Amino acid sequence: MKSYIIKIELEESNPLIWRRVIMPADATYKRLHDVIQNVTNFLGGYPGGGYHLYEFQLLEENKIVTNDEELYIEHQHYIKNKKYYEERLKSMSPDMLQFEQNHQERLKIEVRKPTGLKIDTYLEKFKEIRYNYDFGDNWWFTIKLEEIVDDYYFGFPTLLDGGETAPPEDIGGIRGFYAFLEAYRDAKHPDHEFMKDCVEEWHFREYDPDLINDRLKGIVYKKTEWDKIKHESYNVIEDKYRK
């Protein structure tokens, strides 16, 4: 099975929070979202529901892939009613004109749904995709294509390597996360006990490759492949693809 080895990096993290994953090349952007969610401490991927909005920025093609239904509908309305928007610009008051121009520039960006587009064409051509999750905490990731593999035998993505613990949901962005870690890991910190009491509710876990791979096995792309590979040993993955 053709697959990709990708490196997922959380921007602005220091030391860098990163994961190296091998996953089937025929995945949709929704499946890539599922992978990112499952290799972190976030809750928005399969088998859960939509916890927060997210988008992939395909900058080289002026395209966004997102689960933001409102943004998708706005773009479709713009495509079908360009004359209406042109007239809006002509009649706009001077103090609102710049705002409206910026708004329409945003509407010109093509918007696609993550279940209807595969990652292969863009990733192979441009090697890099940016991903934004939770428009409040505003987590930005860079996904880099490292290698194309033609003989990956497993129907699910697998974590090959990684570093550092990932943030949980609704922690207040990167600054809030590091403030949380400081208190959680320091028994003398005045907020230590409170943070310890909260971690279960927040679904926070330290970086645990075995747990992550157990979760990733649930993201099966083709049932026929699962029937074929379920007897295989994880050691095959470890020996052949780990760097």
Quick check: helix, strand or coil at residue 187?
coil
Low-confidence ranges of the chain (pLDDT < 70): 220-243
Nearest to 76 by CA among 113, 43, 32: 113
State how far Cα 8 lies from the chain centre. Answer: 9
Exposed e or buried b for every residue in 115-152, given b needs 16+ CB within 10 A? eebebbebbeeeeebebbbbeebebebebebeeebeeb
> The whole model's pTM is what?
0.89
- Give the pLDDT of residue 233: 43
Residues facing residue 147 across a β-bridge: 5
- Give the pLDDT of residue 242: 64
- Give the pLDDT of residue 154: 84
Mean pLDDT of the chain: 91
Q: Please write the tens of the pLDDT for every residue from 28-39.
A: 999 999 999 999
Please tell me what DSSP assigns to residue 108: H
- Give the pLDDT of residue 219: 83
- Give the pLDDT of residue 200: 86
Residue 15 backbone zone (phi > 0: left; psi -120 to 50: alpha; other: beta) = beta
- What are the residues whose beta carbons fall under 8 Å from the beta carbon of 86, sequence distance 6 or more? none
Q: Please write the tens of the pLDDT for every residue from 1-43.
A: 899 999 999 999 999 999 999 999 999 999 999 999 999 999 9
All domains of the chain, ordered by start, with CATH? Answer: 3-67+113-166+207-241 (3.10.290.30), 169-206 (no CATH)
- Give the pLDDT of residue 228: 47
Name the helix (H) or strand (E) containing 21.
Answer: strand 17-24
- Give the pLDDT of residue 47: 86
